[in-house]
Amino acid sequence: MELRGKKAMVTGGAGFIGSTLVRELLKEGVEVVVYDNFVSGDRSNLKDVENRVEILEGDILDPNLNDIMRQNGIDCVFNLAAEPYIPHCYDRPRKFFEVNATGALNVMLACKDAGVQRVLQYSSSEVYGSARYVPMDEHHPLRPCSTYAVSKLAADRLCYSLYKEQNLPIIILRQFNTYGPRETHPYIIPELITQLDRGNRLKLGNVKARRDLTYVDDAVKGAIELMQCDKAVGEVVNLGQGRDWSVEELAQIIARLMERQQVDIQVEKVRLRPLDVERLNCSYFKAMTLFNWRPQISLEEGLGRTIDWYRQNGGRWVWETKMATEEEVWHGGEEGKSPDHGGTSGP
Ligand SMILES: NC(=O)c1ccc[n+]([C@@H]2O[C@H](COP(=O)([O-])OP(=O)(O)OC[C@H]3O[C@@H](n4cnc5c(N)ncnc54)[C@H](O)[C@@H]3O)[C@@H](O)[C@H]2O)c1
């Protein structure tokens, strides 16, 4: 399916990956409707393109989402809207399940009702849990290590059964960790950049954890090609870098790029996750076979671009300005308070 000239809805389009995906879709000649409730995403992420996209404020749990899609003449949907920040799932497991699993179900059923031609569900490498073997292909065992991961796995499998039962043209993308400008949560890359901007001393969690990291531009180009790949309908497809780095190694690389010498790393217990994924390393062989995708941007190049963006943005991330409001929202609600901010790894 050719996307040029089509109308795509990007749920979660004001978020980190979503806002880069929107820019890339516009470059490809796609009309874009962003659908977001701005819980972690922000309008400022779309500032330079806001006149070229339609931005709708709304929740993926809205029972009238089908009407919204029909009224807007949506041809295809990228479903990114989610609660993705793992440390928050310890406090609000119900919310994570509602948005990530029931929300995805609502999006899929709305797509069916509105006659949407194709849907891409953003799943995550977290559904695999820690690597049993590397590189991890799509047949790797599914052993999620957090409520976030379980909720994403529920959505992932729901999408597959809806493809079979309802004949819905769904593609499931298992994205490995992504980094770049406009990150919306204090994952390891923005955390390291922020701490190293302020000094030589790093306070971290599980420094031995290893992650496969893809620069966000490469990741969204892959998602767009995947959406257009007819052979991928009903399939699960991994996207990732095919290499992994420990948090310690990342700290040294970023320190060098930011010209910091003799970095002192302290491990803080409060930053450790109850059950952490120790290692992720992606096999993107299937994506390469299906649509000739491979990542183009090296880790150092991507980190350099991210650091440049951070400096140009006045040394601030979106989540720093949003955190206060967010805390207010979830303290009114569910269970307790997370011990873990500035966590080790990512979704
Ligand atoms: N960042 C990664 O490394 C990574 C890796 C694998 C998968 N993913 C997946 O990619 C997607 C995007 O993640 P991200 O890192 O850009 O996170 P993000 O928090 O920046 O994006 C999520 C977006 O969804 C919106 N949203 C949240 N709840 C909503 C709701 N109920 N209704 C409408 N909008 C809602 C948020 O405001 C935000 O704009 C998520 O589905 C995530 O699980 C991310």
For residue 118, tell me if it sits in a domain: yes
Residue percentage of the chain with pLDDT more than 90: 89
Q: Predicted confidence band at 218 (pLDDT cuts at 50, 70, 90)?
A: very high
pLDDT at 340: 39
For residue 265, tell me if it sits in a domain: no
CA of 82 to the centre of ligand 1 (A): 4
For residue 308, tell me if it sits in a domain: no
Q: Predicted confidence band at 322 (pLDDT cuts at 50, 70, 90)?
A: confident
Residue 337 has pLDDT above 50, yes or no: no
State which ligand 1 atom lies nearest to the alpha carbon of 36: 34
> Which one-letter DSSP state was computed for residue 48?
G
For residue 169, tell me if it sits in a domain: yes
State which ligand 1 atom lies nearest to the alpha carbon of 184: 20
Residue 11 has pLDDT above 80, yes or no: yes
For residue 41, tell me if it sits in a domain: yes
For residue 167, tell me if it sits in a domain: yes
pLDDT at 309: 98
Residue 338 has pLDDT above 50, yes or no: no
Structural domain of residue 124, as residue ranges? 7-184+214-244+281-299
For residue 266, tell me if it sits in a domain: no
CA of 236 to the centre of ligand 1 (A): 19
- Mean pLDDT, range 50-76, rounded to an integer: 98
Q: Calculate the average pLDDT of the chain.
A: 93
Total count of domains within the chain: 1
Which residue has the least CA distance to atom 43 on ligand 1?
84
CA of 12 to the centre of ligand 1 (A): 6
55: domain CATH number is 3.40.50.720
- Tell me: the pLDDT tens digits for 130-164? 999 999 999 999 999 999 999 999 999 999 999 99
- Mean pLDDT, range 290-307, rounded to an integer: 98
Nearest to 309, CA basis, from 318, 297, 321: 318
Name the pairing type of β-strands 76-79 and 201-204: unpaired
For residue 121, tell me if it sits in a domain: yes
Residue 339 has pLDDT above 50, yes or no: no
Q: Predicted confidence band at 325 (pLDDT cuts at 50, 70, 90)?
A: low
Residue 240 CB–ligand 1 contact under 6 Å: no
Q: Predicted confidence band at 326 (pLDDT cuts at 50, 70, 90)?
A: low
Residue 9 CB–ligand 1 contact under 6 Å: no
Give this prediction's pTM.
0.95
The pick from 85, 89, 178 for probing ligand 1's pocket by mutation, whose C-beta has the most ligand atoms within 8 angstroms, reads: 178
DSSP string for 198-263: H-SEEEES-TT-EE--EEHHHHHHHHHHHHH-GGGTT-EEEE--S--EEHHHHHHHHHHHTT--S-
